[in-house]
Amino acid sequence: MKPRVYVETSIVSYLTARPCNDLRVAANQSTTIEWWERHRLRYDLYVSEFVIAEAGLGDGEAAAKRLSIVTSVPALEVTEEVRVLGKLLVSEGPIPVKAEIDAYHIAVAAINGMDYLLTWNCTHIANAAIRSRIEETCRRHGIEPPIICTPLELFED
């Protein structure tokens, strides 16, 4: 059985974005493309209605590219358990109210038993300063969190 990966919206955005002149962003884009082309087949990938909704926002041409990726990936069900955990991740403090959608990405991955949550959102999700609080909140409520990581951390050779 392959490990299960929840693909958060930032991955799809980096995968489909026009090349950027910012060196850090360009490096993340390159890493994302390499992971997608060379490593993704080792995993079962999933998204959610949250990823689909976010992918459809913004410039029409860019949104169409993002949606062409996410529609080929199975979507996990967003249950009442997901909504409850998402709200707890905000109310108990690891995720700020302004980033509530990030709490729902974490919740849908955790409730659906994903092994990994793959993201470039290093502000509210793949952030070492808050990751332990995210994990603690999930476990306090009897839910095992996924390993939160970037594509760079999920390379296998």
At 26-71, the pLDDT tens digits run 999 999 999 999 999 999 999 999 999 999 999 999 999 999 999 9
* Average of per-residue pLDDT values in the chain: 96
Q: Report the pLDDT value the prediction gives residue 156, as an integer from 0 to 100.
A: 76
pLDDT at residue 155 in the model: 87
Instruction: Grade residue 108 by pLDDT with cuts at 50, 70 and 90.
Output: very high
Tell me the C-alpha distance between 5 and 28, whole Å: 18
All residues at 6 or more sequence positions from 92 whose CB lies less than 8 Å from its CB, including other chains? 137, 140
* Domains assigned to the chain: 4-154 (3.40.50.1010)
Query: Which residues does residue 118 pair with via DSSP β-bridges, in sequence order?
Result: 7, 149
Q: Is the pLDDT reported for residue 157 higher than 70?
A: no
* CB distance 89 to 106 below 8 Å: yes
Helical axes 60-70 vs 9-16, angle rounded to 10°: 120
